Amino acid sequence: MTEPLLVAEDLEKEYRAGPEVVRVLRGASLVVRPGEIVALVGASGVGKSTLLHLLGALERPTAGRVFFRGEELFARGEAGLVRYRRQDVGFVFQFYNLLGELSALENAMIPALLLRKPSAEAREIAAAALAEVGLADRLHHRPGELSGGEQQRVAVARALINGPKLILADEPTGNLDPKTSEIIYDLFGRLQAERGIAFLVATHNPDLARKAERGYRLIEGRAREIDTGGG
């Protein structure tokens, strides 16, 4: 069996709300293998976004460990975590997180510029990624001039820029109609097939979850493996 790409082991996360401690995750564990699409389902507010934030090193867990390619992620120093966020993993969010004053091309260039790639190279890579997601004719449009599905495709292109092995997608179709949702999920499948990228997709959409090869349901702060019917 293929060695795991990402392993979450007994993750816990607590937040303080005044004197009260809120336990969001209570020992969540999951595995993502190279080049597979894994669904993460669960009721709203159960902690799916929190779990993705921990797996993407956007936050640190209260307890538990995350392994990426066999290395304990949070044993790295801050520079190592920054490198992980910028090179090894890509992020796609429900609300796109595009900068409204920048064009699609300029938004997609940002991760490459953060790695200090020359502007001309970043522009070339970004244009190629936008073409890959079907937006070759929208390079100079700003987010306000794009549909929701087009904005999400810009966000996917941005996530691809530095060649990640894993994309964490947090309700990526939550703001989209069913037809556009299908287009985005089909795009994930094509990128999986052509680039070998693994996806962990948090979704409320049962139809999309069923297209994943494997899945987990987050209940009471723990992740239970489920049969998605896909794969």
| Residue 182 main-chain phi, psi, to 5 deg | -60, -40
At 89-142, the pLDDT tens digits run 999 987 788 999 999 999 999 999 998 999 999 999 999 999 999 999 999 999
pLDDT tier at 231 (50, 70, 90 boundaries)? low
At 167-218, the pLDDT tens digits run 999 988 888 888 888 888 888 999 999 899 999 999 888 878 888 999 999 9
Q: Does position 62 have pLDDT exceeding 90, yes or no?
A: yes
| Residue 7 main-chain phi, psi, to 5 deg | -130, 125
Residue 183 and residue 157 in contact, taking contact as beta carbons nearer than 8 Å: no
Q: What is the CATH number of domain 32-59+69-226?
A: 3.40.50.300
3 state SS of 21:
strand
DSSP string across 139-156 = TT--GGGS-HHHHHHHHH
Where in the chain are the domains? 32-59+69-226
